[in-house]
Structure 1
Amino acid sequence: MVHQGSCHCGRVTFEVEGALTAALSCNCSICSKKAALLWALPKQQVRFQSGLGDLGRYTFNRHVIAHRFCTTCGIHTHGEDAGETAEPNVYINIRCLEGVDLGAIPLQHFDGRSF
């Protein structure tokens, strides 16, 4: 299935291909403050249609995840593996996807505070 997504102002748009069967709820300091629910996918399953130049980048702690956000409206659309990995992942904030019933998506809790 293909899901369409965007930031609040619409400058950053993307589509994601895959079955959204669960989302990750991380309790690290940044994820808990922005209330992101994340869907981890291989990078090749995410296609940005507009706004790559409008994305800001923030890293902290070990700098292994680049937290990406629209520099116009501030919405966190996704994160990306920033470290050296064989297959980089993208972590889509499912709150930015169109037509997703958030209550129907099972959540897996991740203890990011321990890292």
Structure 2
Amino acid sequence: MTEAHKGSCHCGAVAYEVDMSLDGLIECNCSHCCRKGFVLGFVQPHAFRLTADGPQTEYLFHNHSIRHRFCETCGVQTFARGTTPDGSEMVAVNVRTLTDVEPFSWTATRVDGRSF
């Protein structure tokens, strides 16, 4: 079920609202996601709204199809923007940055991103 959620980085300089379901979350073992401990949910851009657009920087790696954004002050990556394999725009939300969801109240499917 899709619900409205709020999230932010640790210092609050970057905050957002997102309409998303906590079903279908993934935990990837690629070198990036694994090291940062991400649990990701994917939404279409219209379902994601920045409410505090503090200073951010961008990190690109692998094929540069996902623009990983993180707060320049506290270093937390709340979301990334990119495209799906079919070319559709998407936002990848770091579920661990949702401020209105109890940690570990969700289930994520483990994905072998290391092999891609």
Same fold flag (TM > 0.5) = yes
Query: 1:111 and 2:115 equivalent?
Result: no
Aligned to 1:90: 91
**Is the 8 Å Cα contact of residues 68 and 80 (structure 2) preserved in structure 1?**
yes
AA at the equivalent of 1:5: G
Instruction: Identify the structure with the greater helix proportion.
Output: 1
**Is the 8 Å Cα contact of residues 11 and 50 (structure 1) preserved in structure 2?**
yes
Trace 1:76-87 onto structure 2 (pairs within 5 A): 76-81=77-82, 86-87=87-88
TM-score, normalised to structure 1's length?
0.89
Trace 1:59-70 onto structure 2 (pairs within 5 A): 59-70=60-71
TM-score, normalised to structure 2's length?
0.88
Q: When the two structures are aligned, how many residues end up with a matched partner?
A: 114
Q: How big is the shift at 1:114?
A: 1.3
Post-superposition Cα deviations, 1:81-109, rounded to whole Å, max 9, x if no partner, equal: 16896531101001110121232211111
Of 12, 34, 37, 2:36 maps to 34
Q: 1:80 to 1:96 in 2, by over 3 A?
A: same
Q: 1:56 to 1:85 in 2, by over 3 A?
A: farther
Q: 1:43 to 1:79 in 2, by over 3 A?
A: same
Of 47, 50, 68, 2:49 maps to 47
Q: Report the aligned-residue RMSD.
A: 1.8
**Is the 8 Å Cα contact of residues 55 and 69 (structure 1) preserved in structure 2?**
yes
Q: 1:83 to 1:105 in 2, by over 3 A?
A: closer
